[in-house]
Chains A and B, each alone.
Chain A
Amino acid sequence: MSMAEVAAARSTGTEPAPLNEPRKRWTRFILPGFTWLMIVYLTLPIFVMIMWSFNDIPVVGSPRQTPKFWGFTLHWWRDLFGIAGLSDALKTSLFIAPISAFAATALGTLIGLALGRYRFRGKAPVNFVIFLAIAVPEIVLGSSLLSMFVLAQAPPIGKITILLSHIGFSIAFVAVTVRARVQGLDRALEDAAQDLFANPVTTFFKITLPLIAPAILAGFLLAFVLSLDDFVITNFVSGTESTFPVWVYGATRIGLPPQVNVMGTLLFGAGLFLAVLNVVVQRRRARS
């Protein structure tokens, strides 16, 4: 893939105009109608989650989510941290996610730079490993990591093994995000800096880094969300420790406390906010 193509794909200003639609028959509504139907299908569980966070379930013993909607209440929002196990699990998730995202971003960015910029011996195998890390089923990765931790009998299964595993599966995602951006960079800018007697280190920090910063940020956010949401791998390497998704999975057998929906809604809101912010910032950058 050429740099021009990447540049064209990445910049928002040069979107190809939509193809002409000469037909004025009803058939032209099929595809858009289908797409919107799919969007409804995809977002349906999210609506249920948000709605059910306000569900006025009768409080008897420990309330569990029911298929029936009883009425509106803010009770669960006020009692957000009413369940100790759930709150602890969320805390664990929010403790691990930033550390994992930070480490994965650091390691993944360097790989992305190497892959996007240089030609070197062993590049193809590295690309293949990155590709494999993204495509391999989570259950295989989870069971591999558990096999290793069991065989090595170290480190103790718990927060540390969760963290080590999360960093491991996030690196590849950061690397491909950065790689794409580096491949799309205009080399002339760096050459210009060097022509003006900037040394490689200065060139990197003054030119390259600011240019790939959006990709690094996107990689960080991606790694953060991956860590926060991961269930399968975490379930294998967590032992008795619970992260948010692991706790929720465990709770499904006896029924879901409504606070889960509140926390899900909050995390969703935060994700939505960051995604919209990212789009807005990218647009503004592209314009200036």
Chain B
Amino acid sequence: MATEALTGQEPATEPPSRGRSYAARRRLAPLWLMTPGGVYLLVFLIIPMGILVYTSLQSGGAFSGRFYFDWDFANYTDQIVQYESQLIRSVTYSVIVTIACLLLAYPMTYWIAFYAGRWKSSILLLILLPFFVSFVIRTVQWRFLLADDGILFGPLKDLGLMSDSFHVLSTPYAVVAGITYNFLPFTALPLYVALDRIDRSLVEAAKDLYSSRWEAFRHVVWPLSLPGVFAAFLLTFVPATGDYVNAAILGGPGTTMIGNIIQAKFLSELNYPEAAALSVILMVAMLILATAYARVLGTEDDTLTATI
């Protein structure tokens, strides 16, 4: 029993002649396997996040370029007050984006998972294809598509179907549309995994019990797809809040998001503590949501990652 619990092996599968040293080796095997990658993740994922928090509590002269650590929590309050409007705007955009992504992706993935039959993986591939191209390039193409005289609006304006002053670029619409476009696969993949996993016989059973299509969806499919909805929310909401590429490429002066501030402070102003404070706020939001997700569904639930 003891070895079974430690190694996850059924004792019967161990050749008896090898005895204890074999069991010990099996117990150590996962540690050996984990060590190189684990150390790497520790050094280049966990420790940097700690240092981000450390940096966010530094203070120092923006002129001298030297910072020292002194538990400067004022970084947080100052930044939140100063960039309140950008923070609110980022969250607002992200809420709209997340809802739009879910509304667009759910019917699509539902159809693929339940009705596309043997074409399933091919259609899924079609959906993922655009994401072989760097998202900077895709976003730039949207700028040309949405341009005032671009191939979408140009002909409409020439025909007089649209007023000449109509424009989308540099407005919040362009930014929200751009983020929605870029985050759609992160919403679609977990939804697809969750929907595809639903046992079809449950839906059949509901129908045998005289439920309508809608009732079967409402009481069987929808509740079973909720892990996918949560995972989609997790992969879309906080990352979309922190996005700055869409605002930079598609937006204008009135669409600055919190990501643009973080990026400018880190890379142009070199004011690391202030930038780090804003970044930590995003990190904490993510940690809270991720912890909640892990609590509810467990860390081994791979709805989040199964199609990768």
Contacts and interface: CB of A to CB of B under 8 A. Distances in A.
Interface of A: 1, 5, 9, 12, 15-19, 21, 31-32, 34-35, 38-39, 41-46, 48-49, 52, 65-69, 106-108, 110-111, 113-114, 117-120, 123-124, 126-141, 143-148, 150-151, 164-165, 167-169, 171-173, 175-177, 179-180, 187, 191, 194, 200, 222, 225, 228-229, 231-232, 235-236, 244-245, 248-249, 252, 256, 260-261, 264, 267-268, 271-272, 275-276, 279
Contacts of A5: 197
Nearest to B47: A148
A140 B52 CA distance: 9
Contacts of B48: 141, 144-145, 147-148
A133 B48 CA distance: 12
Contacts of B304: 131, 134-135
B249 A252 contact: yes
A114 B306 CA distance: 17
Given A111-B38, A248-B134, A45 B145 contact: yes
B201 to A, nearest CB: 9
B45 A129 contact: yes
Interface of B: 5-8, 13, 15, 25-27, 29-31, 33-34, 36-38, 40-41, 44-49, 51-52, 54-55, 104, 107-108, 110-112, 114-118, 120-123, 125-130, 132-138, 140-145, 147-151, 154, 181, 184, 196-197, 200, 203-204, 234-235, 238-239, 241-245, 248-249, 259, 262-263, 266-267, 272, 275-276, 279, 282-283, 286-287, 290, 294, 299-302, 304-306, 308
Contact of B299 (A16, A18, A52, A128): A128
A209 to B, nearest CB: 13
A146 to B, nearest CB: 6
Contacts of A35: 107-108, 111-112, 123
B130 A45 contact: yes
Nearest to A12: B121
Given A114-B34, A137-B239, A19 B267 contact: no
Nearest to B216: A19
Which of B145, B196, B266 has the most chain A CB atoms closer than 10 A to its own CB?
B266
Interface residues of A: mostly helix, strand, loop or mixed?
A: helix
Main secondary structure of the interface of B (DSSP, over half): helix
12 contacts: A38-B104, A49-B141, A119-B6, A131-B299, A134-B304, A137-B241, A146-B266, A148-B51, A151-B51, A229-B132, A231-B135, A252-B143
A114 B112 CA distance: 33
A200 B18 CA distance: 11
B176 to A, nearest CB: 15
Contacts of A136: 283, 286, 290
B290 A113 contact: no
A150 B58 CA distance: 13
A252 B266 contact: no
